[in-house]
Structure 1
């Protein structure tokens, strides 16, 4: 609950410190005195947008500090723990606004974005403004109230998660389908290129081998002439061939070895040379026998190598790299083929996620309908208490999975009322008068507030348009609510003000062109005087004082 607030140089407040207590606190004052000033300042600590005009004229900055007790607020403690900002059983929110418009926010002394203060503030205070009955005309606000009362946050969380997953998958599928024509054109090009290279059927190391064979066939005549010359030099020259000369040398060297053993090793070396020449002669002769001077084979090689060169230029690679380029295109084509499968798989996934969304939405709809029936009875009963004896209230929910799927489910909502006997149920804004709308709005806020887990509630002049006996009933409703949670109520009605467990009075003074607002707690005697002022206006009589005392006693 809110325990203390300090306000400095905010709007027309110079300096203000207030302690708050359990139960219902009412705030009263003259019109224009600034009864809502503390609530506006508190709103900054709860993450509201700042403005340089909020700084008191002539001052450098405005500063607001709010202290909350968290002993009975596990949700706020959990939020602080999750964000590593916990500091015992208390939480201090601080906001500074400079006259230049700069803003700084703090939670337990740590600087944070204002958005974090707003996120935490949802677990600290729930503010019901004087324009809540106008918000009540909006369908999104109506659905929010029903969901707050229903307390099915887990169902809402599941619905949002599944909806986001479905939207993400659907967007991905749309993108794939959008690019389908471009993918198809690219796929057809790849298929043509792969088929062309498939027809070529180039082997991994074929081109270097073709080059070697082509070089050999192209030089077949020169090879034959040179080979014959080698054979002649080695064996076929009758006068002076290598084999005969080696034989002569072997004979002479054998004679030398007989005379000196040191020539024996040389004889062995010469024998090995003779064997090497013999083998060379045999290999060249065999090569000459196999040499095929086939013009048709050479023509085939010319044609195939030309095709390889043409395709390598087309794919901008070296001829010996064309095989690798072919394999890369085959792999790329396989990915395009699998992308078609991916579209099918993703389409099935989108449908599965959509069905999952509908299942979550169905559970959410059932919960809403259950609590809507409960609210129908409670609000109808409250309307009777608020001088609408024949009033009936109904929350109309319609589920439309085909047209209304959103992160909030598939339900559309409309609040229907009947305020007079025999009058059919119609939309709230079409039937209720201004006063009736204010009373219905207040009944809804009080009833739904009982189910909201924030420990502090602020009602800022929500009793506008209410008077007489109805005002007394409103006061009792708010006081009853204050028995289970902290309630602060800005009001101009004495019947409501008198129901508070404590009361504060707002004053405004002007001195030498400066205006200052102040707020002070009232003791019993001062409360009687203030209630009498609210009852009788500027003239306070014994009669109005007696009525004021009766209000306090009745409360």
Structure 2
């Protein structure tokens, strides 16, 4: 429920703060006073598009904030929790618009995109504008109203899910069939490439190993010469070598150790070094004994590496990446090898998903027809109350599953009416006059609104074209709706205004060349005066005051 709104520098509003109650609230005022301005401001907090013209002249920004009570509003609570924006039993929406046209949106103090405010707003408020009857002539809007009345959210969600699954499978099948010839050509290329790589049979880490072995064999002579030189330096040199020098140093340190114990540790270090040098000499000698100069093996390595590099250049990869390329091409070829089987399997899958769509669509269509009959009776009865005693309303539903399947099923909806005896049922926009269309539209909105879960309903001058006794009935319908839902109604009709549980008055003032709109709640006395003004115009008489009191008593 909408609990509070604060408006600063919006359009011709300087500052406005309002508290709202449950039940039915009517909003009245003189023509041009800006009766819908609070609703326009509220729309911004619900994610409507903002622009610079909304900022009051000579001000830097407009700031609108609304507070909603979330008691019993499970849909809004769930949305806030799912989006990590929950803050207890209240929800605060805020919108700031600068004079340059930039805007910022907030939910419970957290900055959010306007689209999130719009998504949350659908769980908080349902606004019926004064041009709603024009929308009613559109078939898609008629379908939406019927589904809202019937509570088809789950059925539509299931239908949409199955439809998307069918469309996705069907598009995949079409793409496969379209590209079948290209697939065959690509398959032949893959078969040739894989066969060539199979014949090469390169191992996962083979090329680096080939490189290492090739490097070793091609440098055998240099390795042998270098190894022999190392052995001479370490131990086999006739004139001098590392072992001899270490032994001389050890002898010298041994004499120093007898004179100073400080050299004991150094002597130990030299002994270890001598052991290391001796072991290194033995290792080099052993490796030289095992070194095998094999020209045939080197020739094989040359040929093998050349074959690998030739194919790597062909596939535009590094030689050490050729193994992975081989595996990838094999995987792709396996997919192509199963393409015919996949086409058959996918064709069957598409048909199965289509049949699942039809089952969901048939279930949705059956439910629509059941609720359409219920709605036919209720709207026809409401038309009788609204001075169309012989009026009839009917929802025509037809559709071809094979040609008109969509995420919403296959039904085509048409609202048909007959307003006079003997008149055939025809499309809503073709039969009804302006006044009749307004009354029928209002009846449809009031009846369907009773099934909508949003806790606040706003009717913005939807009673245009209605007057006299009919207006009194409209007021009673809205007041009845206000017993279970918060209803706000912008109206110019005293019969409707008097039915409100509370009433607000909008006035426009001019001071020093600047215009300001204000909105105030009316007490009983002020309310009688305002109803008298609506009844009699600018001149309020004892008679109009008495009539105003009667309106309140009747409500």
Matched, 1:67 2:39: no
Q: How far off is 1:476 after superposition?
A: 0.5
The 3 A distance-change label for structure 1 pair 340 and 423 is same
> Residue 376 of structure 2 aligns with which residue?
376
> Residue 222 of structure 1 aligns with which residue?
none
Q: Please give the residue correspondences for 1:41-52 in structure 2 after superposition, counting only pairs within 5 Å.
A: 41-52=41-52
> Residue 147 of structure 1 aligns with which residue?
147
The 3 A distance-change label for structure 1 pair 315 and 41 is closer
- Flag structure 2 segments of 5+ consecutive residues without an equivalent: 204-302
Equivalent residues of 2:312, 2:322 under 8 A apart? no
Q: Which moved more, 1:138-147 or 1:80-89?
A: 80-89
> Residue 36 of structure 2 aligns with which residue?
36
Distance 2:371 2:332 in 1: 57
> Residue 124 of structure 1 aligns with which residue?
124
Matched, 1:169 2:169: yes
Equivalent residues of 1:202, 1:323 under 8 A apart? no
Matched, 1:509 2:522: no
**Other structure's SS at 2:338 match:** helix
> Residue 26 of structure 1 aligns with which residue?
26
Equivalent residues of 1:380, 1:393 under 8 A apart? yes
Q: How far off is 1:538 after superposition?
A: 1.2
- Flag structure 1 segments of 5+ consecutive residues without an equivalent: 206-304
> Residue 365 of structure 1 aligns with which residue?
365
Question: Residue by residue, what CA displacement relative to the aligned partner does 1:472-508 show, whole Å, maximum 9, x if unpaired?
Answer: 0000100111111110000000000010111000000
Distance 1:335 1:447 in 2: 57
Distance 2:323 2:64 in 1: 75
> Residue 401 of structure 2 aligns with which residue?
401
Distance 2:168 2:539 in 1: 68
Distance 1:355 1:549 in 2: 64
Q: How far off is 1:331 after superposition?
A: 6.0
Distance 1:328 1:537 in 2: 86
**Other structure's SS at 2:465 match:** coil
> What RMSD over aligned residues (CA atoms) do the two structures have, in Å?
2.7
Equivalent residues of 1:136, 1:142 under 8 A apart? yes
Q: How far off is 1:162 after superposition?
A: 1.2
> Residue 532 of structure 1 aligns with which residue?
532
> Residue 105 of structure 2 aligns with which residue?
105
Q: How far off is 1:447 after superposition?
A: 0.2
Q: How far off is 1:313 after superposition?
A: 7.9
Distance 1:323 1:540 in 2: 98
Equivalent residues of 2:68, 2:91 under 8 A apart? yes
The 3 A distance-change label for structure 1 pair 202 and 477 is closer
The 3 A distance-change label for structure 1 pair 104 and 194 is closer
The 3 A distance-change label for structure 1 pair 457 and 326 is closer
**Other structure's SS at 1:146 match:** helix
> Residue 435 of structure 2 aligns with which residue?
435
The 3 A distance-change label for structure 1 pair 23 and 329 is closer
> Residue 453 of structure 2 aligns with which residue?
453
Q: Which moved more, 1:396-405 or 1:473-482?
A: 396-405
Distance 2:61 2:327 in 1: 71
The 3 A distance-change label for structure 1 pair 195 and 432 is same
Q: Please give the residue correspondences for 1:212-361 in structure 2 after superposition, counting only pairs within 5 Å.
A: 316=314, 332-361=332-361
Q: How far off is 1:84 after superposition?
A: 1.4
> Residue 547 of structure 1 aligns with which residue?
547
Equivalent residues of 2:471, 2:495 under 8 A apart? yes
Distance 1:476 1:355 in 2: 48
Distance 1:436 1:359 in 2: 39
Equivalent residues of 2:137, 2:429 under 8 A apart? yes
> Residue 464 of structure 2 aligns with which residue?
464
Q: How far off is 1:336 after superposition?
A: 1.4
Q: Which moved more, 1:80-89 or 1:373-382?
A: 80-89
Question: Residue by residue, what CA displacement relative to the aligned partner does 1:210-255 show, whole Å, maximum 9, x if unpaired?
Answer: xxxxxxxxxxxxxxxxxxxxxxxxxxxxxxxxxxxxxxxxxxxxxx
Question: Residue by residue, what CA displacement relative to the aligned partner does 1:116-154 show, whole Å, maximum 9, x if unpaired?
Answer: 111111111110000000000111110110011001211
Q: Please give the residue correspondences for 1:515-526 in structure 2 after superposition, counting only pairs within 5 Å.
A: 515-526=515-526
> Residue 4 of structure 2 aligns with which residue?
4
> Residue 493 of structure 2 aligns with which residue?
493
The 3 A distance-change label for structure 1 pair 129 and 314 is closer
Q: How many residues matched?
A: 451
Q: Which moved more, 1:420-429 or 1:344-353?
A: 344-353
Report which of the two structures shows the higher radius of gyration computed on alpha carbons.
1
Distance 2:481 2:493 in 1: 18
Matched, 1:178 2:178: yes
Q: Which moved more, 1:532-541 or 1:165-174?
A: 165-174
Distance 1:518 1:88 in 2: 31
> Residue 56 of structure 1 aligns with which residue?
56
